[in-house]
Chains A and B, each alone.
Chain A
Amino acid sequence: AMEDVSAKFVSQKISRTRWRPLPPAALQPPDLFATGSWDNEDNRISIWSAGDLGNAGLNGEYHGEPHLLCDIQHNGDVMDMQFLDQERIVVASSTGTVTIFRHHQNNQTLSASHRWEKAHYHVDQDTSCGAAACTGVVCNNPEIVTVGEDGRINLFRADQKDAVRTIDNADSSTLHAVTFLRTTEILTVNSIGQLKIWDLRQQRNEPSQIFSLAGDRVPLHCVDRHPNQQHIVATGGQDGMLSIWDIRQGTMPVSLLNAHEAEMWEVHFHPSDPDHLFTCSEDGSLWHWDTSTNVSEKPSFLHQGGRSTAYLSHSTLNQSVVSAWLSNDPTKDRMEITNLIPNQTLSVNSLDVLGPCLVYGTDAEAIYVNRQLFA
């Protein structure tokens, strides 16, 4: 419910929010997150404490807004951001630079620990101009993969000065996002509606597989892979459409689901509960897609306290899969979707989910934390 959400106006437009990963076998919910800003004269990377657990009430409900622990200036818009480990964050900049920032927890400071200047560029890397925005970054410690407006793919290692591998002109259009499929394979999405798989072991500068949307080739902006079933991939497009792909077969999406009215900026499967998926959009909405509910026990339309809830039907083309995301069984193939932000007007640029917690940031210069996502 909305009352579980705490908000803070931060006087900068937020382009990325990321929970700090939890140490293995941690029982606590996440407590720290990072944000990056965009379109400011002075952009910043900030580390926030989600809230003081000491302030929690008797029933364990959470009070208080996020508070700033430390921040550091960042050159250019923050285009993407990913924690490498508990202390390091990799940040993609509109200047084409990729920077690793270290969060020193003992004295609550941030410092730049490594920087790849102009990892993305047009024409010539050595001139002062012609930088290209780095649009996406993904980490699998110590490996870091970045993509950019220059259509280039870089593979870095956190401990090495130079790129391990660079695929120049990997894509003739803009690469918008990247994620790992397996340890040696990555997925990219581009501005002509294509999803590509790249095998980094192969020396060929060609994707190993290309999937694409039919028809109008709507640009794809974000991509995420199902945490347990690696063949299931979700992407979000310029028209706000959520596409689910089964990369074992076909070249087209298994299903197209419509909820947003403008660009979908991020899509995330819940990392430990992948029946749940979250998407956010330029239209100012944040949808929670839930395939875990047993629909047969519920009425087909619900309206609870201002939330708009609806069940959608899959238009599935696929037959032989068990996952709820790919299922086409008419009795089961409906999902509950809920807009978590009614009445928002400006873009929700980023979201992150971990455990029971959701954090998101907007162009209305606010960050929101929901600590009881499944309450």
Chain B
Amino acid sequence: DTVPPQVVPGADPSSRQLCFAWGPAEVLVCETLFGREGQGGVGAAARALTGSVAGTGDAAPSSSRVFVVRKDQDIYIHTLRKLFNESHGIFMGLQRSEEELAGKSRKAQLVQVSKNYRSVIRACMEDMHQAAVSTQDPALQGQYSTQVSILSAMELIWNLCEILFVEAAPAGPLLLRLLDWVRLHVCDVDSMVREVLSSESPSKHKLFWNVVDIFVLQGRMDEARHLLSKEASANPTSMNMYRILDDLMKKMPVPSLGNTQTLTELELKWQHWHEECQRYLQDGTFASNPHMESICKVLLGDEDAILEKKELMTTWYHFLVTRLLYSHPTVKPMELRFYAQSSMDLFLGGESSPEPLDMILMAAFEFEMHQVIKECSIVLSNWWFVAHLTDLLDHCKLLQSHNLYFGSNMREFLLLEYASGLFSHHSLWQLGVDYFDHCPQYGRVYLELHIERVPLSTEQKALKVLRICEQRQMHEQVRSVCKIMAMKALRNNRLGSALSWSIRAKDAAFATLISDRFLKDYCERGCFSDLDLIDNLGPSMLLSDRLTFLGKYREFHRLYGEKRFPEAARLLLTLMTAHIAPCSFWMTLLTDALPLLEQKEVIFSAEQTYELMRCLEDLTAGNPDKQKFQDDDVETTKVEMLRLALARNLARVIVKEGTVDGS
């Protein structure tokens, strides 16, 4: 088996060598400057990659183009978004559904799910049809029409799979289901009927016998008899013949859906009726009317007579079902393959070769489920169909034994492909998440890889991505999203926002970085920005040492502002002695102590003053000369002022404490 080659429209491998790179859901194909004869050099290839335009571009020989090749084309068709969204709901319902429901009710449930999928396809088809009718643009119209026929083929295949695999209809009901299938999908007879019935004398209409034949071929006996009665009343000479044919058609035994008759009973009745038809044909009852005679031959299952009406059936599978109806009404599922193959051969008659759709349906009739899925994967331009169908069949427990030689099982493989396609779409990526969730083996890894590539255009979108990651305990991705958002906020000078993003990710290093920016701003401007945030850090203050310091330092300023000096002084000292403050900030803190030292009332105790002095000496001793040298004057003055203030405070406090102790 070979997969047909994919042609990238616009790329010409005959004149340029192409290079490519795999993406998670897309392939980048690039024209290089290497010609077929090998002209150009290494440098040329590098140049080819820069300055090229994705998708489009002039075909000028000097420019090269980059093509984005998508594996799942249909994901980008706007009118199919309804299909993707609505089927997502059905898919989720199926995953939630009760596995433990017993036999019949579980089967009924699965059939209902299958029908729901089909009704979504049909609704989408109708929308697409409406769009095709209402558009003025012929190109667009062509596109829509193509989509309608693709959707219609998808529904046709799905419906057959539903009958054969999901419902697994037994002999008897199987034929009834196949008849419904043919009626639903084969040529629209209703408009022809209306045309015939609305004419003055229907039986004289040129399409009259065509319509009668179509009804008979589809097994719609009541409708066929109704039409025939028109002929009878318009043509009294054929009345007798009509009566006999009508009676035969009325008496034709059909399988019943209930348990009212056994297959043997049906076969007996059918045999009897068949013999009766045979008698009338042989004794020349219908000889004077070729139309009625051919109908009688059809009733007898005469293959040539049925094949004569090839034009009215249009497809080999209609021929198959008609043939089964009139020669093997109790066909068993496993016998279908023989009739299917011979029907196709007879119908096509060597004039045309089977199309992909024919091969898919044939595979279904042969109960080759994997072949159906494989052919569909190759032929259809989307993963939607095979992913959902396979998932449904898997829930029917029909695919259990089949493991692929790569990756996990087929269901998961196809779901992963489909969901990856969703993730390559700018808007449908959210749907992909749930599909990954239901891929037990690789879903998580895929989600991790894809979710990081979702562009975070707004905070709102980031929050949605973050929620997806948090719900699944994807800590790595949570950190990554928060870091991206924090960096963005930082670049925009939104320190407050940046800090809340790093708090959400519990990213201590980043919180430290932002705290340093706050402190730097404070040192430059002499006041805090974003007080509303810093005053409300709460427990998140403990995330990083620097953040703790920022919060505590701000608390010092608040206490000072509220003139709660002793508390402020104690806090200030603790910041240094407990090494909460970074050393680079000690001078600022000591300078902050100055006004407290200068207060009328003594605030620092003797012990506290000694500690302040030790802090100052540690700082000046630890500072290399080089640092001092730079802003010599300011620094020296500061140190001198501090020493003086500390000495004065010490003197005052000794006097005060001595007095208090003495009294």
Q: What 0/1 readout, one digit per residue, does chain B (444-466) give for beta carbons within 8 Å of chain A?
A: 00000000000001111101100
Tell me which of B88, B93, B467, B497 contacts A172 (CB under 8 A). B497
Residues on B with beta carbons closer than 8 Å to the beta carbon of A343: 92-93, 96
Given known pairs A11-B79, A345-B89, the reply for A172 and B430 (CB within 8 Å) is no
Given known pairs A39-B426, A94-B458, the reply for A130 and B496 (CB within 8 Å) is no
Q: Which of A20-28, A107-115, A299-307, A360-368 participates in binding chain B?
A: A360-368
Question: By the criterion CB–CB under 8 Å, are B530 and A172 in contact?
Answer: yes
Q: What 0/1 readout, one digit per residue, does chain B (324-345) give for beta carbons within 8 Å of chain A?
A: 0000000000000000000000
Interface positions of B from 88 to 122, Cβ below 8 Å from A: 88-89, 92-93, 96
Is B290 interfacial (CB 8 A cutoff)? no
Given known pairs A133-B459, A133-B460, the reply for A346 and B430 (CB within 8 Å) is yes
Interface positions of B from 190 to 217, Cβ below 8 Å from A: none
Is A246 interfacial (CB 8 A cutoff)? no
Question: By the criterion CB–CB under 8 Å, are B538 and A262 in contact?
Answer: no
Is B427 interfacial (CB 8 A cutoff)? yes
Question: By the criterion CB–CB under 8 Å, are B496 and A364 in contact?
Answer: no
Tell me which of A9, A194, A345 contacts B86 (CB under 8 A). A9
Tell me which of B427, B467, B494, B538 contacts A263 (CB under 8 A). B467
Question: By the criterion CB–CB under 8 Å, are A132 and B492 in contact?
Answer: yes
Interface positions of A from 270 to 296, Cβ below 8 Å from B: 282
Q: Which residue of B lies closest to A347 (CB)?
A: B464
Q: What 0/1 readout, one digit per residue, does chain B (58-85) give for beta carbons within 8 Å of chain A?
A: 0000000000000000000011011001
Q: What 0/1 readout, one digit per residue, does chain B (300-335) give for beta carbons within 8 Å of chain A?
A: 000000000000000000000000000000000000
Is B278 interfacial (CB 8 A cutoff)? no
Residues on A with beta carbons closer than 8 Å to the beta carbon of B495: 172
Tell me which of A11, A13, A77 contacts B82 (CB under 8 A). A11
Residues on A with beta carbons closer than 8 Å to the beta carbon of B88: 345-346, 364
Q: What 0/1 readout, one digit per residue, does chain B (495-511) give for beta carbons within 8 Å of chain A?
A: 11100100000000000
Is B287 interfacial (CB 8 A cutoff)? no
Q: In the complex, A337→B453 CA distance in Å?
A: 38
Question: By the criterion CB–CB under 8 Å, are A133 and B458 in contact?
Answer: yes
Residues on B with beta carbons closer than 8 Å to the beta carbon of A150: 492, 494
Given known pairs A133-B460, A345-B92, A365-B81, the reply for A212 and B536 (CB within 8 Å) is yes
Is A12 interfacial (CB 8 A cutoff)? yes
Is B407 interfacial (CB 8 A cutoff)? no
Smallest Cβ distance from B341 to chain A, in angstroms? 41
Question: By the criterion CB–CB under 8 Å, are A172 and B81 in contact?
Answer: no
Q: Which residue of A lies closest to B81 (CB)?
A: A11
| Chain A interface residue count, Cβ-Cβ cutoff 8 angstroms | 47
Q: What 0/1 readout, one digit per residue, does chain A (84-120) give for beta carbons within 8 Å of chain B?
A: 0000000000100000000000000000000000000
Tell me which of B89, B471, B492 contacts A364 (CB under 8 A). B89
Tell me which of B78, B431, B494, B539 contacts A216 (CB under 8 A). B539
Question: By the criterion CB–CB under 8 Å, are B492 and A130 in contact?
Answer: yes
Is A35 interfacial (CB 8 A cutoff)? no
Residues on B with beta carbons closer than 8 Å to the beta carbon of A133: 458-460
Q: In the complex, A39→B81 CA distance in Å?
A: 14
Smallest Cβ distance from B462 to chain A, in angstroms? 11
Is B26 interfacial (CB 8 A cutoff)? no
Residues on A with beta carbons closer than 8 Å to the beta carbon of B623: none
Residues on B with beta carbons closer than 8 Å to the beta carbon of A230: none
Question: By the criterion CB–CB under 8 Å, are B460 and A135 in contact?
Answer: yes
Residues on B with beta carbons closer than 8 Å to the beta carbon of A13: 427, 430
Q: Which residue of B lies closest to A345 (CB)?
A: B92
Tell me which of B464, B494, B531, B532 contacts A282 (CB under 8 A). B464
Q: In the complex, A171→B535 CA distance in Å?
A: 13
Which residues of A are at the interface with B, using a C-beta cutoff of 8 A? 9, 11-13, 38-41, 77, 79, 94, 122-123, 130, 132-133, 135, 149-151, 169, 171-174, 191-194, 210, 212, 215-217, 219, 238, 262-263, 282, 343, 345-347, 363-366
Which residues of B are at the interface with A, using a C-beta cutoff of 8 A? 78-79, 81-82, 85-86, 88-89, 92-93, 96, 426-427, 430-431, 434, 457-461, 463-464, 467, 471, 492-497, 500, 529-533, 536, 538-540
Q: 10 additional contacts, CB 8 Å, given A38-B461, A191-B497, A217-B536?
A: A9-B85, A133-B458, A171-B532, A172-B497, A172-B533, A173-B496, A215-B539, A345-B88, A346-B430, A365-B82
* For the complex of A and B, 3 pairs with smallest distance between CB atoms: A172-B496, A172-B530, A122-B492
8 contacts between A and B (CB under 8 A): A9-B86, A77-B458, A149-B458, A174-B459, A174-B497, A192-B536, A262-B467, A345-B434
